[in-house]
Amino acid sequence: MSEPVAIGLVDSLSRPGRNFTGLTTINRELMSKRLELLKEMILGLTRVGHLANPGYAVHQTQLAETEAAARGLGLTLHLAEVRAPSEFEGAFVRMAAAHVGAFIVQ
């Protein structure tokens, strides 16, 4: 589960306050590092695709932080929104047309 605090499932990661067991991917906190690693691995990387479901509860929060991280690294982020499996092909076509050198998945 990503962002259990932001979507209200738990009170905090250290003290959930409910009977929950599991793990979190800590997406927002690690997005900057993921982009930094991509830039280090792919020389000359300037454009990165961001594959995401806009219906996800914390999509806008994660997108804003990802955009800020990309700007800080001198990268251009190309959003490819997908709501259903039938939309994947179009998202990949749009990312290819934008000449992204890599993409990340929210």
Q: Where in the sequence is the domain holding 89, given as residue range(s)?
A: 28-105
Supply the mean pLDDT for the chain.
Answer: 86
Highest-scoring range by mean pLDDT, 18-27, 50-59, 86-95 = 86-95
- Report the domain count for the chain: 1
Contact of 55 with 3, CB cutoff 8 Å: no
Whether 1 is in a domain gets the answer no
CATH code, domain carrying 64: 3.40.50.2300
Q: Where are the alpha helices (DSSP H) in the chain?
A: 27-41, 59-72, 88-97
Task: Copy the structure tokens of residue 63.
Answer: 């997108």
pLDDT confidence band for 72 (50 / 70 / 90): very high
Q: Which of 83, 79, 72 lies closest to 103 in space, CA to CA?
A: 79
The pLDDT score that the predictor gives to residue 2 is 65
